[in-house]
Amino acid sequence: MSSDVPPVPSPGVGHSFPFRVISDPAFNKGTAFSIEERDRYGLHGLLPPHIESLDEQVQRVYEAYQRKDDDLERHIYLRALQDTNEVLFYRLLLEHIEEMLPMVYTPVVGQACQLFSHIYRRPRGLFISYPMRDSIGALLRSRPYSDVDVIVVTDGERILGIGDQGAGGLGIPIGKLSLYTLIGGIRPERTLPIVLDVGTNNAERLKDPEYIGWRHERISGQAYFDFIDQFVKAVQQELPQVCLQWEDFATPHARPILERYASKLLTFNDDIQGTAAVALGAVMGAVGVTGKPLREQQIVFLGAGSAAVGVADYLRAALVQDGLSEAEARQRFWMVDKDGLLSSDRRDLSPEQQVYAQDSANLVNWPKTAHGAIGLADVIQQVQATILIGLSTVGGAFKEPIIREMASKVDRPVILPLSNPTSRSEACPEDLLRWTNGRALVATGSPYAPVVWDGRTIPIAQCNNVFIFPAVGLGVVASKATRVTDGMMLAAARALGEHSPALKDAADSLLPPLSEVRSVARAIAEAVGMEAQRAGVAPITTRPELVARIEASQWLPEYGPVAD
């Protein structure tokens, strides 16, 4: 008998446990189970006899991945691997992070959400539907693992730039939490994706015979907010220490929810605060290149929704930190939405938008459209804009004449078309560099290939929240913070800006390469943890102690012992 053939296992192993070991992605090692483990758990016969290393497994699954001929199929393959063997899934992603991050998150996750009902395979996370609003606690208790550090929750109404996807929005929390683990190192079994299924107003989804969500128009008004309150109270009861991240809620709901609960539990909204922090980090890197301090910038926005206002709020806070008064900081902002420049004579502005309304008395002689509005082109013509940020989801909105006008007034214009997916981006980097003769400092919301200009290869930073929220999660867990403050997010943004490669080489990216994102996450987590202590929302410890806890908290995709 060959020495490679394992002995027959002794009897007495429970019948169901072997199957659990190989069917639970948190336990499963697949072909990497050792002889001793196969003996102990009765796995012989359930597995082929050859024992592989993790490296060999990665090579095999990567070969299979490469045979997929479109991005959606690659997404489906990776999700299936995640549902089979989480260590292998994360090791594969870690070794091919630049190639695979767009497959598990933006931009491919948008298509996956649209087709979620058609590609649904196995349960992951929780569906909490409105008809079961009186049983939310019981639904939370059905979670697969009892200990949870981070929940990402959506109601599916404003998925990326593609709108209401109903229950299909669960793809976003699944993707986000994959990045919490991949980058922040939060243990995968301590994460929980949730969709609050309050119906959908997407007629295409409601008519789809395969749609798996609650087939009903969206609940709105007070009934909606009462449901959110029921959910939050159930989370507080079942998981009082969990970090709760709100994701892809529509503008009328996103900020009211954040303001209602931010002081009551450990929570933040990634679209408002995460987007703001990563944009501020990119701006800080760009400002370092221009040599002109942040307090001297003139900042123009296209888009005035919750994400845009959130970015403006953080930039305004940074301007005040850099020495401007609140009034002076507000005057640096020019925000344009579909109805034109936000101005004091408009009666359709939310309280958050009114903060950025320019005094209409100063705009009397400005050119206006036939409808009396002041558009983006008019603002760029009248103002010496140094920073232009797009969060409008209007693809191609940064037209050539607008960009050339901006570039005629400043040496290094900072231009951030942040809407995603790619089809909704306000401009493509190649055009921006061409229209500015290579002078623009560019970061985008979706991934773009490097641009070759004048013999140089210019990497394009993806202003992706992956630089912020996984690191914030790591910092919160390691520091044992009880709240997420704006100060903690600002600290994260400044730490990110300090790691901008463009500070060493002006032709380099405004944000670090993805290959360094785990190490950068540790530095950001340190800044978050120290600010949490300063703000009094985390136990006081020394910086070396905090750093040691951060390093100990960052999980690595390696096989360990199986828990009985």
Report yes or no on 320 lying in a domain.
yes
Please enumerate in sequence order all residues whose Cβ is within 8 A of that of 171, keeping only pairs 6 or more positions apart, or say none.
109, 112, 113, 116, 165
Identify the domain containing residue 515 by its residue range: 272-564
- 453 bridge partner residues: 456
The per-residue pLDDT for 1 is 36
CATH number reported for the structural domain that contains residue 65 in this entry: 1.20.1370.30
The per-residue pLDDT for 174 is 98
Please enumerate in sequence order all residues whose Cβ is within 8 A of that of 259, keeping only pairs 6 or more positions apart, or say none.
none
Q: What single-letter DSSP state applies at residue 165?
A: -
The angle subtended at Cα 297 by Cα 293 and Cα 300, nearest 5°, is 150
Report yes or no on 12 lying in a domain.
no
Query: Do residues 311 and 320 lie in contact, with contact meaning Cβ atoms separated by under 8 Å?
Result: no
The H-or-E segment that residue 334 falls in is strand 333-337
| Last residue within a domain, chosen from 66, 98, 130 | 98
Q: Is 246 helix (H, G, I), strand (E, B) or coil?
A: strand
| Last residue within a domain, chosen from 232, 265, 298 | 265
CATH number reported for the structural domain that contains residue 421 in this entry: 3.40.50.720
HSE (side-chain half, CA atoms, 13 Å) at 108: 19
CATH number reported for the structural domain that contains residue 145 in this entry: 3.40.50.10380
**One domain, residues 369 and 504:** yes
The per-residue pLDDT for 14 is 43
Report yes or no on 347 lying in a domain.
yes
Annotated binding site: 158, 247-248, 271, 420, 464
Q: Is 456 helix (H, G, I), strand (E, B) or coil?
A: strand
Annotated binding site for a divalent metal cation: 247-248, 271
Annotated binding site for (S)-malate: 158, 420, 464
**One domain, residues 259 and 280:** no
Report yes or no on 127 lying in a domain.
yes
**One domain, residues 546 and 475:** yes
**One domain, residues 343 and 429:** yes
**One domain, residues 235 and 307:** no
Q: What single-letter DSSP state applies at residue 216?
A: S
Rounded CA-CA distance 522/470 in Å is 10
**One domain, residues 243 and 279:** no
The per-residue pLDDT for 16 is 62
The angle subtended at Cα 301 by Cα 298 and Cα 303, nearest 5°, is 170
Please enumerate in sequence order all residues whose Cβ is within 8 A of that of 382, keeping only pairs 6 or more positions apart, or say none.
366
Query: Do residues 444 and 418 lie in contact, with contact meaning Cβ atoms separated by under 8 Å?
Result: yes
Nearest C-alpha neighbor of 30 from the set 3, 2, 64: 64
- 456 bridge partner residues: 453
Report yes or no on 419 lying in a domain.
yes
The phi, psi pair for 300, rounded to 5°, reads: -110, 135
**One domain, residues 375 and 249:** no
Biggest distance spanned by C-alpha atoms of the chain? 94
Query: Do residues 169 and 218 lie in contact, with contact meaning Cβ atoms separated by under 8 Å?
Result: no
Catalytic residues: 105, 176
Rounded CA-CA distance 307/313 in Å is 10
Report yes or no on 207 lying in a domain.
yes
Report yes or no on 50 lying in a domain.
yes
**One domain, residues 288 and 435:** yes
**One domain, residues 94 and 115:** no
Report yes or no on 7 lying in a domain.
no
Rounded CA-CA distance 457/459 in Å is 6
The per-residue pLDDT for 12 is 40
Q: How many domains does the chain have?
A: 3
The angle subtended at Cα 31 by Cα 30 and Cα 36, nearest 5°, is 95
What ranges in 67-155 are assigned the alpha helix state H?
A: 71-82, 86-95, 97-104, 108-114, 116-119, 136-141
Query: Do residues 188 and 90 lie in contact, with contact meaning Cβ atoms separated by under 8 Å?
Result: yes
The per-residue pLDDT for 422 is 84
Please enumerate in sequence order all residues whose Cβ is within 8 A of that of 391, keeping only pairs 6 or more positions apart, or say none.
275, 301, 302, 303, 305, 307, 308, 311, 418, 419
**One domain, residues 298 and 428:** yes
Nearest C-alpha neighbor of 130 from the set 195, 191, 174: 195
pLDDT tens string for the chain (564 positions)? 344 444 433 434 444 667 788 999 999 999 999 999 999 999 999 999 999 999 999 999 999 999 999 999 999 999 999 999 999 999 999 999 999 998 999 889 999 999 999 999 999 999 999 999 999 999 999 999 999 999 999 999 999 878 999 999 999 999 999 999 999 999 999 999 999 999 999 999 999 999 999 999 999 999 999 999 999 999 999 999 999 999 999 989 999 999 999 999 999 999 889 999 999 999 999 999 999 999 999 999 999 988 899 999 999 999 999 999 999 999 999 999 999 999 999 999 999 999 999 999 999 989 887 677 999 999 999 999 999 999 999 999 999 999 999 999 999 999 999 997 788 999 999 999 999 999 999 999 888 999 999 999 999 999 989 999 999 999 999 999 999 999 999 999 999 999 999 999 999 999 999 999 999 999 999 999 999 999 999 999 999 999 999 999 999 999 998 766
Rounded CA-CA distance 356/333 in Å is 6
Rounded CA-CA distance 211/226 in Å is 26
**One domain, residues 233 and 183:** yes
Give the Cβ contact number of residue 485 at 10 Å. Answer: 20
**One domain, residues 493 and 356:** yes
Positive or negative: CA dihedral 531, 537, 543, 547: negative
| Last residue within a domain, chosen from 98, 124, 140 | 98
The phi, psi pair for 280, rounded to 5°, reads: -65, -40
The per-residue pLDDT for 564 is 61
